[in-house]
Each structure stands twice: as C-alpha cells, then as structure tokens.
C-alpha cells in the first residue's frame, strides 16, 4: 500500500528551514521525502504563475548532494516534470542556464556551511525566489506518494558551457595576457571551469590545493590559515591575483598581488564602478566606503541576504538604468541588462563570483590590484563568528541589547565608548562616537552568531570583533 505524504506537514516537522538564501539543515534531516516535499511545494507555487514541463537541477561537491538531487528529480517525475540535470556546476551557472531556457530550477548546496549540513536553493525562470515565495513553499499543501526508488541522473554540459561563454565572449582574448593567477580549487563546484576560462582570456594559471574532501570556505570570515596560505602562494608563485569561491561558486574569494584577501564588499564596489553601475542595493553590513566613495547615484541598504537585495532592484529600476547589488560575502548580483564596451551583458540577479573578479582585473589593466583598493575611502571591516551558537541564545542577547545598547557595550568591554546611533535593520548595528561600528546578528544559515566591525584602522576593526566575541563567549 502506497503511503501518502503531505508537503507542508513534512517541511514543518523536518528540521529544515529557510535562511538568508535557500533552505538549510542537517544532512540527516534532508531525507528523500523531505527533499521531495520541498520540490513538490516549489512546483506547486511555480504552477500558480503558469504551466511548465521541465525543471533544471544541479549540485555542489558535498557528499550528500547527489542523493538529494535524485530525491528532487524523483519528485519532479511524480509531478510530471522532466528533470534537466547539469551535475556539479556553480549556482550562478545553473541559474543563468535556467533563465535562458525560461524554466525554474533547484540547486542542491549548503554553500559555505559545514559538510554535515546541506541545502536547497530555488529559482524562478526570472531568477532567485523572494521571501514571499519562501513562505508560499512552506505553506503549500501538496499530497504525494512516499518515494520508493530514486532515478539515475546523467549530467549535461550546457550550463557549464553557457556560463563560461557568458564571460569569454564579453572580454577580449588578451584581457589577462601577462597575468599569473592562482586558482584555489579546494572543493568548489566551479573548480573545473575557472582555470580554462582564465587561460582562454590569456592568463597563466596555477592550480592550488584541490581537495577530495569538502572544504567549507566562508568568504565572509576567512580563517588565519587561509590568509597565511594566500600570502605564501603569492610569494612562491609570483602571482598577480588569487581566485577562489565558496562551496557552490556564487561567492568570490579574491586576493591581490600581495596575497591579501579583499573584503567582498570592496570587491563589489570596484566591480560595480568598473561596470558603470548607477545605483546599488547592498546589505546594511557592507562597508561604508561604498557610500563614502561617491561613485554611485544611489546606495540602498537592505537586510542581509540576496532575496532582500534582489527585492530592492524593482525600486531602483524605477529611476535608474544600470543597477546591481553586492554583499559583504562578495556575491555580486547584476540587476539589469547592460552593455560593456558595446557588448551586451544580460542581467543575472543571483550571486555570482566570476564577474567581479574579471571586472577587477579589467579595471587594474596592466597594473596591480592593490592601488585600486587604496584609492577608496579607508574604512576597514572585519568579521568572524561563534560556531554552534544556538539561534535562540543570539536572539535573546540582541533583544536585551536593543533596549539598552550602552549596557551591551559595557558587557563587551567597550567601557570608554558611547553609542552614537543604532540600526536594527538586521540584527543590532551600533555606531560609536569614535566612528567605529559594531554589528551583531544570528546567521540565517547555521547556528552561529556573527560579528562585524568597521573602523578607520584595520587592526582596530579586528580587535573589536575579537573583543566582542570573546566577551560573549565568557558571558554565556
């Protein structure tokens, strides 16, 4: 006898929840039936906008991702939808291909979070889903049969090819001539694409540290080990730049000629400027150098997470022609179709890692990257997080602090600092009278408490983060 399941019930009881971008949870909670429940719910929500018969699907290099993709594909087949499987590719490659084919898609990835967790990202034919779509998926009431068998999936090459073609056709073939670029491959979903693309544009490429085990690179909180690696690689191989990404290839990690990793929002600022962008949407956690630079007619601040950045595009598009967004983690979102040196570049309203790197190198020309950074207003940011920190505990700390932010500063050891203003757009962002900024928020993707700091001196920003997190650990 076939067991009939209900999507909203399974999702509510399954331990998987939407974070800043996509549904995330422990691998053990992503059972085949839970994956099927999310897929059936997504299909039902998309059918409200119109009929479709095909859906694209891809994965990252996590050990759990292939089986999750099979479960999603099984649910598609149950719903009369043909799964179009592209194998291991970067999330923006899948999203771009699906947009060209005008079909929805699902990316199986946990992005940068540890390998014992995973996730699902959902895309409409026009791009990433909204927060309203997320709620519709959670409440969709779809009945389906429990999965009894999982289909075998054969990967197609079109998404990888189209993604690389998007950029190889945009730039001259000698764009990177004379450049030595290191590609930190680790377990990135795009590791097989980046070196050939860069070589096609004229670079000499040195492949660095490919891993057979999944490596959870967090581009927003680069570890000391990775900082030391970059400096060593840069000196050893005489590199002009190092390129890497997070696990699913939508967040860039870029180092200059000295092996110093660039903050993602600084990379985004330089990319948007090189593209001639008029207006940008950025999360409130981004470096204030974006506004202070004076390079954009409008800088709109949002909550943290690409859906909020994308939602702001509609408002910006009422006034501006060339719009984009980027995040402190480096993900760059092109919000409008533009031309670059007479060549068209289609909008890609999801995080992308390749475009900001190539635009940085194009802006540098024959010169180095670091002068582009030093020409910006000198505001420095640092961030880190406490792992395995229950979200409820983070929320309790912030709830108390919103009522009395000065008291929180004292508890964190900032005894001689006074609160200038407070921003609660996302978490608690305190500007001090000396110009420093301290920002605390629970991660939307994992049980972590994140801390961001900004100051006029890099060491002061780092010290502020370390002091705050150390004090919080002591408090709890």
> What is each CA distance from 234 to 91, 181, 261, in whole angstroms?
28, 9, 11
Q: Which of 123, 30, 37, 24 is nearest to 74 (CA)?
A: 37
Length of the chain: 476
**Residues of 345-360 as b/e, b for ≥16 C-beta within 10 angstroms?**
bebbbbbbbbbbbbbb
CB 369 within 8 A of CB 282: no
Where helices occur in 285-412 by DSSP H, the ranges are 289-292, 306-316, 354-364, 370-374, 391-403, 405-411
The span from the CA of 10 to the CA of 137, in Å, is 12
Helix (H) or strand (E) holding 237: helix 224-237
Residues near 96 by beta carbon (within 8 Å), at least 6 away in sequence: 159, 162, 163, 166, 348
What does DSSP say about strands 437-442 and 428-432: parallel, antiparallel, or unpaired? antiparallel
The span from the CA of 470 to the CA of 464, in Å, is 10
Catalytic residue, chosen from 21, 111, 336, 383, is 111
The span from the CA of 116 to the CA of 107, in Å, is 17
The span from the CA of 111 to the CA of 235, in Å, is 29
What does DSSP say about strands 279-283 and 298-302: parallel, antiparallel, or unpaired? parallel
The span from the CA of 24 to the CA of 14, in Å, is 11
Degrees to nearest 5, angle at CA 191 with 186 and 194: 130
Q: At 137, is the secondary structure helix, strand, or coil?
A: helix
As a whole number of Å, the CA-based R_g of the chain is: 22
Q: At 446, is the secondary structure helix, strand, or coil?
A: coil
The span from the CA of 67 to the CA of 62, in Å, is 10
CA dihedral sign, ordered 19, 22, 23, 25? negative
Q: Is residue 394 annotated as part of the catalytic site, yes or no?
A: no
Residues near 452 by beta carbon (within 8 Å), at least 6 away in sequence: 285, 328, 381, 382, 383, 429, 437, 438, 439, 465
Q: Catalytic site residues?
A: 111
């Amino acid at each position: 006898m076939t067991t009939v399941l209900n999507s909203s019930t399974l999702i509510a009881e399954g331990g998987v929840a939407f974070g800043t971008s996509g549904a995330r949870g422990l691998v053990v909670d992503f059972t085949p039936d839970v994956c099927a429940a999310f897929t059936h719910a997504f299909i039902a929500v998309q059918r409200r906008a119109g009929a479709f018969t095909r859906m694209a699907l891809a994965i990252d290099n996590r050990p759990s991702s292939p089986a999750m993709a099979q479960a999603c594909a099984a649910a598609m087949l149950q719903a009369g939808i043909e799964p179009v499987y592209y194998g291991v590719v970067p999330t923006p490659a899948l999203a771009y291909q699906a947009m060209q084919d005008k079909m929805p898609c699902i990316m199986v990835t946990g992005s940068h979070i540890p390998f014992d967790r995973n996730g699902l990202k959902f895309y409409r034919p026009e791009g990433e889903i909204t927060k309203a779509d997320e709620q519709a998926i959670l409440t969709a009431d779809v009945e389906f049969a429990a999965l009894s068998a999982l289909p075998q999936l054969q990967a197609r090459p079109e998404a990888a090819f189209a993604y690389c073609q998007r950029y190889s056709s945009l730039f001259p073939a000698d764009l990177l001539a004379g450049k030595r670029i290191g590609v930190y491959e680790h377990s990135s979903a795009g590791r097989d694409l980046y070196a050939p693309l860069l070589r096609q544009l004229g670079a000499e490429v040195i492949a660095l540290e490919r891993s057979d085990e999944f490596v959870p690179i967090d581009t927003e909180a680069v570890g000391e080990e990775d900082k030391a690696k970059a400096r060593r690689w840069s000196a050893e191989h005489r590199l002009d730049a190092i390129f890497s990404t997070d696990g699913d290839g939508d967040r860039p990690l870029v180092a200059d000629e000295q092996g110093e990793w660039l903050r993602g929002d600084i990379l985004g600022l330089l990319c948007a400027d090189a593209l001639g962008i008029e207006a940008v949407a950025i999360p409130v956690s981004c470096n204030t150098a974006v506004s202070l630079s004076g390079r954009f007619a409008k800088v709109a601040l949002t909550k943290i997470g690409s859906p909020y950045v994308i939602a702001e595009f509609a408002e910006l598009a009422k006034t501006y022609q060339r719009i984009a967004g980027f995040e402190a983690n480096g993900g760059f979102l092109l919000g409008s179709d533009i031309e670059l040196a007479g060549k068209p570049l289609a909008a890609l309203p999801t995080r992308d890692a390749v475009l900001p790197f190539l635009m940085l190198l194009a802006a540098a020309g024959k010169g180095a990257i670091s002068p582009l950074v030093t020409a910006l207003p000198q505001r420095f940011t640092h961030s880190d997080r406490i792992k395995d920190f229950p979200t409820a505990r983070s929320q309790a700390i912030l709830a108390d602090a919103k009522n009395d932010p000065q008291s929180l500063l004292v508890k964190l050891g900032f005894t001689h600092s006074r609160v200038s203003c407070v921003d609660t757009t996302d978490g608690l962002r305190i500007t001090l009278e000396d110009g420093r900024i301290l920002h605390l928020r629970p991660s939307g993707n994992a049980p972590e408490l994140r801390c961001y700091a900004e100051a006029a001196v890099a060491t002061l920003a780092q010290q502020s983060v370390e002091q705050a997190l150390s004090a919080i650990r002591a408090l709890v």
